[in-house]
Amino acid sequence: MNDKWLRFDAATNPYGPSPKVREAMAAFACTGDFSRYDDEERAESLRGDLATHWG
């Protein structure tokens, strides 16, 4: 397949994450605080924030 064609039938992103996302991911990886799932209280808070934002 030619690499210059975008595939809309696959869950891929030929460009990768934006520089800001890469920076945030690198900063988070340096914390070492990703060995467990987040707590339920913060998950509920996130769900509420998303519901408020997106309706």
For residue 53, the model assigns a pLDDT of 94
Number of domains the chain is built from: 1
| Contact assessment for residue 50 and residue 42, using Cβ atoms and an 8 Å cutoff | no
What is the token pair recorded at 49? 């924030």
Query: 7-55, pLDDT tens digit by residue?
Result: 778 777 778 899 999 999 898 888 877 666 677 888 888 889 999 999 8
For residue 22, the model assigns a pLDDT of 94
Residue type, 29: A
Contacting residues for 24 by C-beta, under 8 A, at least 6 apart: none
The range of the structural domain enclosing residue 10 comes to 1-55
